[in-house]
Amino acid sequence: MTRFLAGVAAGAVICAWAGAALAADLPGKFEGVTVDAKLIGGQQYEALYARIAEWEKATGAKVNVLSKKNHFELDKEIKSDIATGNITWCVGSNHSSFAPQYPDIYTDLSALLPKEEIGAFVPANIASSTLDGKLVMLPRAQFDVSALYYQKSLYEDDAKKAAFKEKYGYDLAPPDTWQQVADQAVFFANPPDFYGTQYAGKEEAINGRFYEMLVAEGGDYLDADGKPAFNSEAGVRALDWFVNLYKAKAVPVGTTNYLWDDLGQGFASGTIAVNLDWPGWASFFNDPKSSKVAGNVGVKVQPAGSSGKRTGWSGHHGFSVTESCANKEAAASLVWFLTNEDSQKLESSAGPLPTRTAVWDYNIQQAESDAYRKEVLIAFQEAAKHAFAVPQTPAWIEISNAVYPELQAAILGDKTSKEALDAAAEKATQILEDAGAL
């Protein structure tokens, strides 16, 4: 990831639809229009939706939220809508990892919004929101790459430092490698009251974590010909990392059922030593109203694998407008409003990373007097340098759904890592063959 600087200020703008330029300042006027929407839900996303009332007041339109679910459930619902020909809604939450699955249902936002507004976003985020030349979503302030959160007091305890040095032969410090994370996780664990670390253990979440650990171990998920290549020595090392921590009881026994909200609540409960997690949790972890570790949270760049590469699975959230929407102008206005500078300042104030360059500048300036916030921004700026997207195949989510039960089987001890990865590679190959990709 390149440095996210050099902003573009938004002024008076012009909406265009179906080739007809309509002179109007965003957000525009849409009296009597109702925009149906399907949105991602979750604690870290909710603050933004309070702004919908402002858009309604400004435009005269109404927003009807049909669904509000985690993205895995929302993905299933959208696929069901596609299968039944029921794309009757206008605005949908989207994500760079999910977007390649929906090449046809979303319209080109570059035909609905002015160039100067699109130019105000980080170019890399716009590029990864563009499929086959179509800008299929507008990024919100939810650029995701994970860094390492940890409880600072654990590293300030002289007795722990001495015991760790005696056992492992090196000084106890916030880890910089995944081997150090494993050592420390086992060392700190005191089940069932306290655990060294945790990880999301199902659906795309565990496949994504395995993918980035695979890269950090020097492996590839797909080879140059697009064939599954994760059942390699690097793949076994990557999966063994998860398996060994589970076997050592250094992670909670329920981790194979965890998704992101479970991890966030887990670290905030004070029962987890170190936690690889997304930027959206930064404020939550340091707020005494929501977190028992508030005031005791350190943040640093994500660790490196044995190859020297750091993990860096990344992506970003956004909003899309359907091709079938009856009023694309109003829908595009809502999408713009939820991703404009004010919205991104609001979302990123809680920790998520912005996708507008001017908001990066603003946040850095605002953090000067806030030591924790500055630490977070520095850590995630560094983390962003190591970010990489999922393999750009429309089958990514389908492959994830086939692969993750095999990863779970290895973690739970039902298969060896090699057996699980061979079975997963066979399933992934079949999916790609059925899709005509191989």
20-24, 292-296, 401-405: segment of lowest average pLDDT: 20-24
* pLDDT number for residue 88: 95
* pLDDT number for residue 12: 30
Residue scoring higher pLDDT (231 or 361):
231
Q: Over the stretch 248-262, which tens digit does the pLDDT of each residue have?
A: 999 999 999 999 999
* pLDDT number for residue 98: 87
Catalogue all structural domains in the chain, each as residue range(s) with its CATH number. Answer: 34-144+315-373 (3.40.190.10), 147-313+390-435 (3.40.190.10)
* pLDDT number for residue 226: 93
Q: Over the stretch 59-102, which tens digit does the pLDDT of each residue have?
A: 999 999 999 999 889 999 999 999 999 999 999 999 988 888 88
* pLDDT number for residue 314: 86
* pLDDT number for residue 15: 35
* pLDDT number for residue 118: 95
Looking at the whole model, is its pTM more than 0.75? no
In percent, the amount of the chain with pLDDT more than 70 equals 95
User: Residue 391 — very low, low, confident or very high, per pLDDT cuts 50/70/90?
Assistant: confident
User: Can you tell me the mean pLDDT for 180-195?
Assistant: 98
* pLDDT number for residue 42: 87
In percent, the amount of the chain with pLDDT more than 90 equals 76
User: Residue 13 — very low, low, confident or very high, per pLDDT cuts 50/70/90?
Assistant: very low
Tell me whether residue 116 is exposed, middle or buried, using C-beta atoms within 10 angstroms of its C-beta: 0 to 12, 13 to 18, 19 or more.
Answer: middle
User: Can you tell me the mean pLDDT for 230-256?
Assistant: 97
Q: Over the stretch 174-184, which tens digit does the pLDDT of each residue have?
A: 999 999 999 99
Q: Over the stretch 334-348, which tens digit does the pLDDT of each residue have?
A: 999 999 999 999 998
